[in-house]
Amino acid sequence: MSDRKVLQIQQISGHPGPIPGLGTQREPVVCKLIDTTTCIGCKACEVACVEWNDMPFQETTFDNTYQTMPDTTWNFWNLIKFNEHETEDGAVQWLMRKHQCMHCADPGCLRACPADGAIVQYTNGIVDFQQQYCIGCQFCVSGCPFNVPKFNNSTKKVYKCTLCSDRVGQGLEPACIKACPTGCLHFGTKEDMKALAETRVQQLQEHSGFKDAGVYDPETIGGTSVIYVLHDAKNPEMYGGLPAKPRIPPSFTVWKDIFKPLGLFASMMGLVGVVLHYVTQGPRRVQPQPPVKYEEGGIESKKGE
Amino acid sequence: MATRAEHFDRRPRPSNPIDQIGRTVVYEGELMRHRAYTRFLHWSYGIFFFLALLSGFGIYLPWIFAWFTPLFGGGAMTRLLHPWFGLGFVFFFGLQVLNWTSLMNWKPSDSKWMGRIRDYVTHRETMESEDVGFFNAGQKLMFWEIVIGSAVYLITGVIMWFPATFGRALVSISYVLHDISALIMLAGIFVHIYLSTFGEPGTIQAMTRGTVSEAWAWTHHPGWYRQLTGRDPYQSVEDARERLQEEPPQTDPTKAL
Ligand code: SF4
Ligand code: SF4
């Protein structure tokens, strides 16, 4: 029961009716704080993720950087992205960012998903894929602003970071947090993490000379349950392509919420239209229509039998 | 009569060996309309259209996901089969396009027909005008709508099938276009099915047995009737009216014509 309490469902993908147990209980929103300024690129979090989630270690390609893989894969959910950035004064900055699902408050993946129950969002903010209900359409892939969900071609299902919902449900922190040796990763309630992040940003601005330091918690998708402290919050793109203004493609929202019901209504009107035509106008018979005289006679003679 | 009708059917299109397969029995008082090959194509893409439509609908609307997906063996199976149903539709419809394009050319008389559509819908005109040949403007419109619709279908469908290859922006646009073209086709299909069954009795026979009654032909496609029989459609109506008055048919009056 204990995990049920923590993993209270907030939203369900493609679900027609009311969501069972919606709003019966509120748990604090959890959050992972990633302080990119103290990441040393040790990849302990990558290993912890692979181990905890029981993924096989796999071969990779060497691309002359420290990056483990070119990108995350269906069985590799947590990747440190490396970027050598040259600042205006010629100094080289080595930027590292932990890339995984952001657990958006308004998840594009969940909005796009047509399968009932394939994606759930718990009230604590964790967005979880339920592969047994996934139909492999990959709509979530195009709905996610961070390019996170990854398709497995052999199982035809989509996978991504769960924020260790299994661990969090039991009151533990995610595996990556547990493994981080520098304290660059923190885990707690969203409020606590935001406060912690703000404190750190202040520190960076006042004592370390990073004037543009800031917190990455994009408002365009209602905030995320994974937030970053960046040296330069004005340029999140340089951290391995962290979008400055992540957005769910507007076509998804507009189409799903407005045009789909409208379109269905219109086509149903077509159906109503032909029925009405039949009732009011009747069929168009071949010519000539038989004389009325005959019809009356026919009916009468039938009656007479 | 039957020979001339068959002859006509062969004439406007290059002789196709497949077209010779199958048999169409033309009875007294009937005209040959669609050969077996045409009928086979029509039912093939008809079936694939509905398979694609039903499987697509499950994915399209969460409200009916639970009703429609079990028809195809669950959500994942539906997703797997849907694109193949779509390809089946495009394949057979593509063959029909090759079969029919020459008959579907838009002519000035078709624009005139569109101008008179109100009179046809409200039955103020009980017979089509003489310039209506093998297909009328409504049928042509429906045909070209499906040609364009299925092109959109195919292109967007392939993009959605392999989202990793085509990228996010393209996929999310395809998603909308795919559904819009589906809805337009769906509306067209309602009208098509209605007219061929309840709306214009005697029509569906053209696709089941391949023939239509002469009366059907002069009523709905007078130009074609004249071309086929060499007789004046309006005179034929008058003749039929007289025959009716002389000896009222014993059974269903429409059959005897
Ligand atoms: S980052 Fe992508 S996969 Fe993760 S919750 Fe947000 S939209 Fe979904
Ligand atoms: S592929 Fe993604 S969008 Fe499609 S059913 Fe699975 S989780 Fe939902």
What's the pLDDT score for residue B66? Answer: 78
- Please list, in sequence order, all residues whose beta carbon lies within 8 angstroms of the beta carbon of residue A161, skipping any fewer than 6 positions away: A49, A77, A78, A100, A101, A148
Its pTM stands at 0.82
Using a CB-CB distance cutoff of 8 angstroms, which residues of chain B are in contact with residue A153? none
Give the Cα separation of B166 and B156 in Å (integer): 10
**pLDDT, averaged across chain A:** 87
- Indicate which of A154, A155, A286 best probes the interface with B, i.e. most B CBs within 10 Å of its own CB: A286
Residue of B155, B192, B158 whose CA lies nearest to B82: B158
Tens of pLDDT, residue by residue over A127-149, are 999 999 999 999 999 899 999 99
Using a CB-CB distance cutoff of 8 angstroms, which residues of chain B are in contact with residue A151? 164
Distance B44 CA to ligand 1 centre (A): 41
Ligand 2 pocket check for A113: Cβ under 6 Å: yes
What's the pLDDT score for residue B254? Answer: 55
Q: Is the pLDDT of residue A22 over 50?
A: yes
Ligand 2 pocket check for A9: Cβ under 6 Å: no
**Chain A nearest CA to B211, separation (Å):** 15
Number of the ligand 1 atom closest to the C-alpha atom of A161: 4
Q: Is the pLDDT of residue B180 over 60?
A: yes
Burial B73-111 (b: 16+ CB within 10 A, else e): eebbbbbbbbbebbbbbbebbebbbebbeeebeeeeebe
Residue A34's alpha-carbon distances to A71, A151, A197, A224, A247, in angstroms, are: 19, 26, 9, 12, 21
Give the Cα separation of A271 and A260 in Å (integer): 17
Tens of pLDDT, residue by residue over A184-214, are 999 999 999 999 999 999 999 999 989 999 9
Question: What's the CA angle centered on B176, arms B172 and B180, to 5 degrees?
Answer: 165
Classify residue A166 as exposed, middle or buried by CB count within 10 Å of its CB (0-12, 13-18, 19+). Answer: middle
Contact A87, A164 (CB under 8 A): no
**Element spanning A81, H or E:** strand A79-86
Residue of B5, B57, B4, B72 whose CA lies nearest to B186: B57
What's the pLDDT score for residue B1? Answer: 43
Contact (CB<8Å) A278/B199: yes
Identify the bridge partners of residue A129 per DSSP, sorted by sequence position. Answer: A119
Residue of B59, B52, B44, B54 whose CA lies nearest to B82: B52
Identify the bridge partners of residue A187 per DSSP, sorted by sequence position. Answer: A32
Distance B160 CA to ligand 1 centre (A): 19
Residue nearest to atom 4 of ligand 1 (CA): A101
Contact (CB<8Å) B76/A136: yes
Using a CB-CB distance cutoff of 8 angstroms, which residues of chain A are in contact with residue B76? 134-136, 156
Residue B77's alpha-carbon distances to B65, B69, B72, B113, in angstroms, are: 13, 8, 6, 45
Q: What is the mean pLDDT of residues A82-106?
A: 91
Give the Cα separation of A202 and A196 in Å (integer): 10
Residue of B157, B149, B50 whose CA lies nearest to B97: B149
Give the Cα separation of A285 and A288 in Å (integer): 8
Q: Which residue of A has its CA nearest to B216?
A: A286
Q: What is the mean pLDDT of residues B74-93?
A: 93
Ligand 2 pocket mutation pick from A11, A12, A13 by most atoms within 8 angstroms of CB:
A13
Give the sheet arrangement for strand A119-122, strand by strand. Answer: A9-12, A119-122, A127-129
Give the Cα separation of A67 and A82 in Å (integer): 6
The SS3 assignment for B23 reads coil
**Chain B nearest CA to A187, separation (Å):** 31
Contact (CB<8Å) B183/A290: no
Quote the tokens at residue B60: 């399209």
Cis bond upstream, residue A288 (ω within 30): yes
Contact (CB<8Å) B168/A142: yes
Residue with tokens 């769910």: A248
Give the Cα separation of A64 and A170 in Å (integer): 40
Contact (CB<8Å) A263/B179: yes
Q: Is the pLDDT of residue A298 over 60?
A: no
Give the Cα separation of A133 and A126 in Å (integer): 18
Ligand 2 pocket check for A118: Cβ under 6 Å: yes
**pLDDT, averaged across chain B:** 86
Ligand 2 pocket check for A135: Cβ under 6 Å: yes
Q: How many contacts (CB atoms, under 8 Å) link A and B?
A: 148
Residue of A233, A202, A241 whose CA lies nearest to A215: A233
Identify the bridge partners of residue A227 per DSSP, sorted by sequence position. Answer: A33
What's the pLDDT score for residue B168? Answer: 83
Number of helices and strands in chain B (H, E)? 14, 2
Distance B132 CA to ligand 1 centre (A): 57
Ligand nearest to the CA of A122: 1
Using a CB-CB distance cutoff of 8 angstroms, which residues of chain A are in contact with residue B175? 139, 142, 251-252, 255
Quote the tokens at residue A300: 């009468």
Fill in the DSSP letter of residue A94. Answer: E
Residue of B19, B78, B37 whose CA lies nearest to B54: B78
Q: Is the pLDDT of residue A80 over 90?
A: yes
What's the pLDDT score for residue A295? Answer: 45
The SS3 assignment for B115 reads helix
For A52: left if phi > 0, alpha if psi spans -120 to 50, otherwise beta; the answer is alpha
Ligand 2 pocket check for A144: Cβ under 6 Å: no
Ligand 1 pocket mutation pick from A12, A31, A32, A104 by most atoms within 8 angstroms of CB:
A104
What's the pLDDT score for residue B257? Answer: 47
Contact (CB<8Å) B240/A288: yes
A301 falls in which pLDDT band (50, 70, 90)?
very low
